[in-house]
């Protein structure tokens, strides 16, 4: 009896020791994990702090990292969590977010009844279109809400998709939706209460007509990161006296004046007008980015501060520039005039010709009373 009791006591003691060892091991592992988590948190806090400092300093890579992190940290279902990219044009102050969207043909759209079951083809088309618009609005809103240093005024979103041509089975890809809106307008949205279709129309977005049989759309805005021509805008009218002779002003100042004119003309419509680097007669003096879904796109402007009639060769050059730039329209503005051959060439082409008298009319509509005296300008040019 005594021996049996001793054996039980010894067994209990060994079990207690083993349990104590397991407890110590578990506690040690928990402490190690807790310390690892604490180290990770401190490291992430430090990285966030350093990222914030870099963003405030205007580091483009840091801003890009922040924007992409923002999109990731607001999760979607895995099938919708596609890759994204971000670019920032600090001159035009436009942020461009390019999002990848899934091929809706590869998604299952279900509706609830007695059981979950597939929707009709018509309903699938409608739901896929709404999903596409919602993804564009989500990206635009998150980017607009995440500007740490007020680096941009406008947000553009392009939705890229890969799909299979239903007629041939061949792989296709392209942009299927595009959206551009002012940052402040996006910040006023209430995502939990809006209708994606109505909001997308309100913001002037464009999308492929049939997302189940997609056709690429022309984006409202495309970032050309290789284009080094754009320079900072200047306010010429602040130093230009009333009744100044535009035909006698420096040609670089005339280019900026034309840029300002087009800004005044489209001031309430979200149009961006930017001057390109000064280099006489190189093809483009200003670029217009128009977000309007009907007339919108890219316009190129040439400004000719001339005292003689503009030769038709300049109009031909403008047309070539429109084609090379992939622009919707070219606009030629001069202080002088155009001959009949210029108007004949521009007929039925995406070209607008604005001569001196019409330029003055446009300026007067915006409260600028300038004049054009070609003879006086020619005399001044002869003296220099």
Predicted confidence (pLDDT) per residue in 251-271, tens digit? 888 888 888 888 787 755 556
Between the ranges 10-24, 41-55, 102-116, 330-344, where is the mean pLDDT highest?
A: 330-344
C-alpha count within 13 angstroms, C-beta hemisphere, residue 140: 35
Domain count across the chain: 2
In this structure, the answer to whether residues 309 and 378 fall within a common structural domain is: yes
Place of tokens 């008298």: 357
Cα gap 180→284, rounded to integer Å? 24
pLDDT at 170: 86
Please indicate, yes or no, whether residues 348 and 290 belong to a single structural domain of this protein: yes
Do residues 172 and 270 both lie within one domain? Answer: no
Q: Look at residue 241 and tell me if it is in a domain.
A: no
Residue 354 lies in a domain: yes
Establish if 109 belongs to a structural domain.
Answer: yes
Last residue of a domain, one of 191, 213, 235: 213
What pLDDT shows up at residue 281?
45
112's CB contacts (< 8 A; 6+ apart) are none
Token pair belonging to 373: 């005296």
- Please indicate, yes or no, if residue 48 is contained in any of the structural domains: no
The answer, yes or no, to whether residue 85 has pLDDT greater than 50, is yes
Do 206 and 67 share a structural domain?
yes
pLDDT grade for 272, boundaries at 50, 70 and 90: low
Buried b (16+ CB within 10 A) or exposed e, 285-319: bbbbbbbebeebbbbbbbbbbbbeebebebbbbbb
Asked if 69 and 205 sit in the same domain, the reply is: yes
> What pTM value is reported for the model?
0.52
CA nearest to 313, candidates 362, 346, 357: 346
Rounded to an integer, what is the distance from CA 66 to the centroid of its chain? Answer: 16
Same domain? For 201 and 101 the reply is: yes
Residue at which a domain ends, from 213, 238, 272: 213
252 assigned to some structural domain: yes
* CA-closest candidate to residue 295, choices 329, 246, 332: 329
Assess if residue 183 is contained within a domain: yes
Between 229 and 235, the more confident residue is 235
Does residue 111 contact residue 134 with C-beta atoms inside 8 Å?
no
More confident residue, 155 or 286: 155
- Same domain as 90, residue 191: yes
**Tokens 């596409």 label which residue?**
132
Q: What percent of the chain has pLDDT over 70?
A: 84
- Does 6 reside within a domain? no
Is the predicted pLDDT of residue 338 greater than 80, yes or no? yes
What does the pLDDT average to over 281-307?
71
Reported confidence tier of residue 132, pLDDT bands at 50, 70, 90: very high
Query: DSSP strand E in the chain: where?
Result: 84-89, 94-101, 110-112, 116-118, 154-164, 171-182, 206-207, 272-275, 286-290, 297-304, 329-334, 351-354
Return the structure tokens found at 272.
Answer: 């961006």
Three-state DSSP class for residue 339: coil
Considering the domain architecture, whether residues 265 and 201 belong to the same structural domain is answered as: no
Banded model confidence at residue 46, pLDDT cuts 50, 70, 90:
confident
pLDDT score of 134: 95
Whether 207 and 283 share a structural domain:
no
Tokens 């088309």, located at residue: 125
Looking at the domain assignment, is residue 38 inside a domain?
A: no
Q: Are residues 100 and 200 in the same domain?
A: yes
Between CA 213 and CA 143 the distance in angstroms is 29
- With contact defined as beta carbons under 8 Å apart, do 345 and 316 qualify? yes
Whether the Cβ atoms of residue 254 and residue 246 lie closer than 8 Å to each other: yes
Domain that holds residue 186: 62-213
Mean pLDDT on 158-187: 89
């Amino acid at each position: 009896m005594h021996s049996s009791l001793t054996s039980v006591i010894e067994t209990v003691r060994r079990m207690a020791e083993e349990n104590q060892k397991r407890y110590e091991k578990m506690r040690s592992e928990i402490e190690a994990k807790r310390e690892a988590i604490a180290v990770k948190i401190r490291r992430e806090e430090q990285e966030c702090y350093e990222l914030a400092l870099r963003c405030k300093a205007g580091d483009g890579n840091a801003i890009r990292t922040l924007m992409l992190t923002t999109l990731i940290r607001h999760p979607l279902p895995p099938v919708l969590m596609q890759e994204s990219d971000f670019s920032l044009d600090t001159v035009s102050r436009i942020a461009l977010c390019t999002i990848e969207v899934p091929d809706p043909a590869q998604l299952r759209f279900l509706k609830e009844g007695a059981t979950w079951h597939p929707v009709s083809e018509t309903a699938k088309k409608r739901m896929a279109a709404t999903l596409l618009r919602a993804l564009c609005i989500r990206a635009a809103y998150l980017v607009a809400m995440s500007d740490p240093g007020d680096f941009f005024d406008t947000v553009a979103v392009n939705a890229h998709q890969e799909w299979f041509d239903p007629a041939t089975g061949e792989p296709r890809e392209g942009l299927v939706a595009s959206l551009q809106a002012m940052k402040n307008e996006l910040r006023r949205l209430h995502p939990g209460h809006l209708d994606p279709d109505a909001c997308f129309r309100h913001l002037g977005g464009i999308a492929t007509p049939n997302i189940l049989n997609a056709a690429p759309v022309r984006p409202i805005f495309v970032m050309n990161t290789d284009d080094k021509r754009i320079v900072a805008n200047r306010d010429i009218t602040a130093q230009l006296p009333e009744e100044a002779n535009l035909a006698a002003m420096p040609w670089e100042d005339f280019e900026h004046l034309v840029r300002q004119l087009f800004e005044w003309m489209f001031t309430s419509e979200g149009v961006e007008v930017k001057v390109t680097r000064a280099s006489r007669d190189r093809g483009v003096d200003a670029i217009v980015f128009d977000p309007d879904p009907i007339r919108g796109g890219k316009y190129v402007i040439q400004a000719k501060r001339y005292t003689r009639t503009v030769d038709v060769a300049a109009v031909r050059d403008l047309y070539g520039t429109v084609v090379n730039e992939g622009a919707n329209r070219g606009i030629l503005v001069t202080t002088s005039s155009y001959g009949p051959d210029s108007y004949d060439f521009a007929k039925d082409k995406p070209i607008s010709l604005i001569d001196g008298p019409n330029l003055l009319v446009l300026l007067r509509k915006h409260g600028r009373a300038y004049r054009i005296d070609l003879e006086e300008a020619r005399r001044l040019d002869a003296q220099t």
